[in-house]
Structure 1
């Protein structure tokens, strides 16, 4: 990136609302009101939203959880990761993943996990370059 990316955790209703236009690139079905309500509700359960901002513009978002499971131990799970389509391949996603990795290590997580839609080929290439492996298949049954 030619300019400095500022990474901060988002926690107020107003800050969350400002993130909605970018999150729509990943989750187009959510209105601003739904997005704000959902994030605020999830924050009470441990969800955190990382914002990457450059030159006053939100360039990336990463929603994540810290949890513990029998299969993975203490881990950081990336639920949402989006870089503004106008600045992709400029290092925003890499800087965000780097921040998440350092954060996970600082709080003694053993692993970082994420799921990615099977149609997101460019995202898969990015994750593989970032050192992730395809460790399993994720199955879903709509009820």
Structure 2
């Protein structure tokens, strides 16, 4: 019997449970800011979070949203993907990302894209080597 399940994270209790994992990626956020952004982006941008549980323990989280742009067309944007640092290299990220890719195909999206910090070289190897993603651009940011 498979002990791995992928479930939507929608209740406040589920989102709070996911915060320690998400905080490993988004270290600049406190719980209050995190919840505010999840709720606002869900309401305004259809952001969704999924959690991967192994034996009922949350091991990885992905946040994504559908979007339409002239460059990507109808696509999915992966905003966040993190596996608990104690559980990396066990295929959890691959399972979550593949699940979202499958969801996108079922809902008639044409592609999936994401941005990954320059320092996250292990993540880049994962996206390119394991998941068959290609580098198509460089992202620039300016703080206000």
TM class by smaller structure = over 0.9
Residue in structure 1 matched with residue 96 of structure 2 by the alignment: 96
Question: What is the CA–CA distance in structure 2 between the aligned matches of 1:81 and 1:56, rounded to whole Å?
Answer: 19
Task: Answer yes or no: is 1:137 the counterpart of 2:138.
Answer: yes
Residues 50-89 of structure 1 mapped to structure 2, 5 A cutoff: 50-89=50-89
Question: How many angstroms does 1:49 deviate by?
Answer: 0.4
The equivalent residue for 2:37 is 38
Count matched residues: 142
Q: Which residue of 1 aligns with 2:8?
A: 9
Q: CA separation in 1, counterparts of 2:34 and 2:57?
A: 19
**What CA distance in whole angstroms lies between the structure 1 residues aligned with 2:117 and 2:29?**
17
Whether contact under 8 Å (1:13, 1:40) holds in the other structure is no
Tell me how large the CA RMSD over aligned residues is. 1.3
Q: Is the 8 Å Cα contact of residues 48 and 63 (structure 1) preserved in structure 2?
A: yes
Q: How far apart in 2 are the matches of 1:16 and 1:52?
A: 13
Structure 2 CA distance, aligned partners of 1:103 and 1:119?
Answer: 29
Displacement after TM superposition at 1:56 (Å): 2.1
| TM-score, with length taken from structure 2 | 0.94
Could you tell me which residue of structure 1 aligns to residue 18 of structure 2?
19
Whether 1:117 aligns to 2:96 is no
TM-score, with structure 1 as normaliser? 0.95
CA shift for structure 1 position 140: 1.2
Q: Which runs of 4+ in 1 moved over 6 A?
A: none
Q: Which has the higher helix share?
A: 2
Structure 1 unaligned blocks of 5 or more: none
Q: 1:36 deviation in Å? A: 1.4
